Amino acid sequence: MPDVTTPEYSLVQQIAARRSVLRQVNFYLTSEREFSTRNQSFPDGNVGGVRSAYHVWDMARFQRQHSSRGRKEPLNIDFIELFGHGISCLPANLGSDTYISYLTVMPATILAALYDKFSARLLEQNVRTFLQARAQVNKGIRGTIINEPQMFFAYNNGITATAQEVETSLSAGGLQLVRITDLQIVNGGQTTASLFHTQRRDKADLSQVFVQMKLSVVDSEQSEIIVPRISEYANTQNRVNAADFFSNHPYHLRMADFSRRIWAPAQQGAQRETKWFYERARGQYSDEQLKLLSGEQKLFVLEYPKSQMFTKTDLAKFENVFDEHPRWVNLGSQKNFARYALRIGKEWERSSDHFNEWYFKRAIARNIIFRATEKLVSAQSWYNGGYRANIVAYTLSMLSEIVKRRSSALDFLRIWNTQAVDESLLETIVVIASAVHADITKPPAGISNISEWCKKDGCWNRLVAQVDRISEDLPNYFWELLESAEDNKHEVRTAKQTQKIDNGIEAQRRVLSVPPQQWSLLLREGTNRCLFGPRDLALLRVAIQIPAKVPNETQSAALLKLLSKSQEVGIL
């Protein structure tokens, strides 16, 4: 007789009692060893007539899960330690006490070595990274390196870099840079990457190649304001579009951070989680791989599949579609992005807490639905090969409007967790897409260009007027997929609270990283020039006591605003 007191017996009884409602059995294997990369998936099976799925959790998978909330470290370079000598430089402060800069001639061998060692980390503040020699400027750089290396200094525009701190020393040969804290190349990423790749691929000799560098010391609090300006004003080598210039906004930095540390659940049948690669700056996805060895590239693609790379303009497209701005999307990627950037900028100013991990996961779910809809439309018998982008944009905006009128919400977290779109939702999308296609391909009299019609408010207004009629044609099981508006609001509130805590911790970290003398200068100048009220001055008196007294999260956020204000009036 079995021992009815054991937990195993209780489990068997529960399974037997629920046998008729079981849809899937999940088998989990945990191991303290690492799973072989050769076996990344197992096909679903069948146990007693019930579908079965298999999941392997090895130490690497646990580590990936644990590291999702990791943070990157600043990039610090010690030239003496790395290269045995400093870099000759000239101070270029122009008599200013609040701004420090240097001019230097960088040996190409050192730039290439730095790129080899730090790769994309060196270019995180660049508006875009190496464009793989696709643009004419990169071919010119490569040609000069190979054919006229001694003329590189004359032909090249040089690079512009920033740092939080710089340490110099005076030697017999003059002033030298010996250590740089958080070096970032904000303009000249193509030059830097081209030096490395030409040396590696073409075996080019860089010993005669030198690059002029302008180095500005910009502390972390000023970087969000000054670095994008440096990048915009300095960039003359290649055409840079509006999306590139917005890439340094804190919103995109946060989205990129989420994409590098949040693992997406394994898709059905797969044994490995993956990540969605957000390409904040053009060319990042390809550039990340170029310096990797063949085996490392394979691991990179396993972690970041090419199908899971998306750009700023992609993000703007599916966010604006679901937020019911299909007219903007139909204007084209750059015009749509410009409107998206303006909208996000205003929302960020009101509260950055809204842009949190839940927001990122919702964005990915929207991406998944958008791509699935593109495939669905192409497969329909009524689709004749034209206006797919218009149909998709209006279909998903209509879906969003239909759900909103029911005081409900799409269950985006369900889509995130499965990394797929439910069949019931796909069938619903087909019904809506068919209605949209029938409507937009019959513009009003006097308008013959359907694409132009789709850019007008009248197109959207005419479709919205049909929401109730189209809703009646949707399958009943679609409504069962939706979550209540209240449940959705609860998810949003919880995520905002978590992000608010994260923002508070980050504000404290940034305040503690500001040199003490800056707070003293701010208090002195602010008092003398009557810039701040009593409450602000009280905050600054707390700040000058760091580290003996540490400002709390609320005080830290307020201090950062004072710091920003001081930069605007020229104190710092």
pLDDT per residue as tens digits for the range 462-491: 999 999 999 999 998 899 888 877 777 777
| Number of domains, the chain | 4
Residue written as token pair 């020229």: 570
Amino acid code (one letter) for 286 = S
For residue 455, which of 405, 396, 387 has the smallest C-alpha distance? Answer: 387
409 and 281 within one domain: yes
Task: Name the residue range of residue 122's domain.
Answer: 76-239
- Can you state the percent helix, strand and coil of the chain, rounding each to 5? 55, 15, 30
The dihedral region occupied by 180, where left means phi > 0, alpha psi between -120 and 50, and beta the remainder, is: beta
Question: How far apart (Å, rounded) are the C-alpha atoms in residues 271 and 461?
Answer: 46
Tokens of 137: 């400027």
426 and 498 within one domain: no
Domain-embedded: residue 261: no
Domain-embedded: residue 136: yes
Domain-embedded: residue 269: no
Q: pLDDT at position 133, please?
A: 44
Between residues 19 and 256, which one has the greater pLDDT? 256
Domain-embedded: residue 260: no
Helix or strand or coil: residue 225? helix
Q: pLDDT at position 564, please?
A: 76
476 and 556 within one domain: no
Q: pLDDT at position 241, please?
A: 53
506 and 439 within one domain: no
Domain-embedded: residue 172: yes
Q: Angle at Cα 392 formed by Cα 254 and Cα 279, nearest 5°?
A: 25
Q: pLDDT at position 325, please?
A: 93
Q: Which of 29-38, 80-89, 514-523 has the highest mean pLDDT?
A: 80-89
**The model's pTM:** 0.60
Containing H/E element for 324?
none
Domain-embedded: residue 297: yes
Question: Which residue, 36, 68, 100, sits at the end of a domain?
Answer: 68
Domain-embedded: residue 517: yes
Give the residue-averaged pLDDT of 286-308: 90
**pLDDT-above-90 percentage for the chain:** 35
Out of 7-21, 79-93, 461-475, which region has the weakest mean confidence (pLDDT)?
Answer: 7-21
Domain-embedded: residue 310: yes
227 and 310 within one domain: no
100 and 49 within one domain: no
Q: Which of 76-85, 143-152, 349-358, 359-368 has the highest mean pLDDT?
A: 359-368
476 and 497 within one domain: no
Between residues 189 and 436, which one has the greater pLDDT? 436
221 and 149 within one domain: yes
Q: How confident is the model at residue 137 (pLDDT cuts 50, 70, 90)?
A: very low
392 and 288 within one domain: yes
- Measure the N-to-C terminal CA separation of the chain; round to a whole number of Å: 81
